[in-house]
Structure 1
């Protein structure tokens, strides 16, 4: 009934099997298990808000050929140029996206950071992938972090990005991707990460995190919110006291006092990279 009324109200409205998210002149809504496409100019802001409320938030995963292959639902390789023999997979998770149109704008802005893009798509409402053609990411992690933060400021979102390694495009790729996905899923909130930044914490969580010794130590650390922010900032700044005090908006002497206090309470010296890495792992 609702779809019939929409088709009568809006001349451009039509039922489509798969929405075309790349056409910026139209908007798409999922109503009663069907996709309805409408020319954007036919809707004012209130009508669009109403249709967003009526639209079902699609939580099922995409039927994109790359995702079907990577998630091992299909065994055939996606059709690409024979020249493409290696790829890199960029994973991203985005919170607070207001609409599907908003999501498309976000992914378009994010994709502009990279070149040689084979495909970009949302897997579900907050998780998606970029597939790159053996492309070396020109930007360093800190530069990409700045870029992601700028996008989040523009869109009012909170994003996490995992930069995958370069892999051969063959039948072994899905199993490799599954591990990269697991590593990304245990990310502690870092805006941009990769195998080098996350693998140690991943291995730690797989084997030791549940041991009583580490559980007690973690509880001691997390009992004080100042310790949490201090450890994370020291780790990100590679134990640079000046940068950390600036990031935490505290005086250098105040930071040194907190480090000494932490040492007295835990026996761990955050000036030591070994101790600092251990504390960082406990917070992952």
Structure 2
């Protein structure tokens, strides 16, 4: 039986979370006295009980669980089961199985840190996958939704991503149809530096363009709705849970304020994040002060006009061109907004108030 399958079965039996850890050589020698492949029974360390699984190159792999959550009978039961399975666990595992196990352990650690609110923690040494991480890796979160979304295998998705990134990446499943992707920044910058583009791009612009291709690739491969967020390069060895939370919140903000978008960039959602953090009572007071124009905002044509106008930096000519309407038609619509709200979007102060009102409308009416 594979170690991961065994972990899941034992976890189901005892009813507490169990994880597989690989100890470093020093801890392996300190806690376990093995000779001629003979392993000791479980040991206790810092509130956990460790059940030895197998030794590989001087590093002990153990099954770990919270000591206070296990009765003496459960500990003895697990020792008996693992003793009977030890011969099978001594069999060498393939590199693919070892990689999958390491990735699963990292995923469990990330989710555990998020649940406990410890977001700035450094990845512990026993999670050996951290050795594949370097300073300057670009983190992505890919999230799929939809009841008809098929099961996407880890192997299939990683193969597709390696082909697109043109190099090795780390793919960490977070939950059903949600993945964290870590890629060396050289893979992304190099792939776009080859374009014959005379205009120098910023890191944010490069990542935005890269995400467009990545999202299209995944969406074409599997039928379903996918959302993608990305951050500037980080050192994933430190504070990775905080990065994951930020990217997941970015997707949530994007889905709340820009329902037709599927790529959500944190540097483009700063104002949305601020508005989302405002308590409901303060939102109500703001709308009461400036006027609640939600009836006007419910008009699709008006809402689209204002969103396009703001997207193009309040440029009348460019907005009319983008919307395929005559410039005078756009001016008529803007005058209509002024007549009904008392606010002129061509005035900076009034434009700010209307923009905030639009965002508040979205966060309150679409919940």
TM-score bracket for this pair, using the shorter chain length: 0.5 to 0.7
> Is structure 2 residue 271 aligned with structure 1 residue 200?
yes
Q: Residue 214 in 1 paired to residue 292 in 2?
A: no
| Match status 1:181 vs 2:232 | no
Indicate the SS of the match to 1:81. Answer: helix
* Bigger mean CA deviation after superposition, 92-101 or 200-209: 92-101
SS class of match (2:344): coil
Q: Secondary structure at the match of 1:207?
A: coil
Q: Which residue of 2 aligns with 1:89?
A: 139
Cα distance change of structure 1 residues 146 and 86 upon mapping to structure 2, 3 Å threshold: closer
1:127 aligns with 2:178: yes
Residue 204 (structure 1) shift? 1.7
Shift of residue 145 of structure 1?
3.3
CA shift for structure 1 position 137: 4.4
Q: In 1, Cα distance between the equivalents of 2:160 and 2:231?
A: 19
The alpha-carbon distance between structure 1 residues 147 and 116, as it changes in their structure 2 partners (threshold 3 A), is: closer
1:255 to 330, 335, 343: 330
Alpha-carbon spacing, 1:121–1:237, altered in 2? closer, same or farther (3 Å) = farther
Partner of 2:314 in structure 1?
239
218, 230, 235: which is aligned to 1:168? 235
Indicate how the Cα distance of structure 1 residues 257 and 141 shifts in structure 2: closer, same or farther if over 3 A, else same.
farther
Deviation string 1:234-264 (CA, Å, 9 cap, x unpaired) is 3333334455445444443323322221222
* TM-score calculated relative to the size of structure 1: 0.61
Query: Equivalent residue for 1:67?
Result: 107
Partner of 2:124: 76
- In structure 1, the partner of 2:33 is none
Which residue of the partner structure matches residue 55 of structure 1?
A: none
Deviation at 1:69, TM superposition (A): 3.1
Structure 2, gaps ≥5 residues long: 6-11, 13-102, 115-122, 190-205
Distance (whole Å) between structure 2 residues aligned to residue 265 and residue 93 of structure 1: 40
User: What is the TM-score of this pair, normalised by structure 2?
Assistant: 0.49
Task: Pick the structure with more helix per residue.
Answer: 2
For the pair shown, the structure with the greater C-alpha radius of gyration is 2
**Offset at residue 130 of structure 1 (A):** 1.0
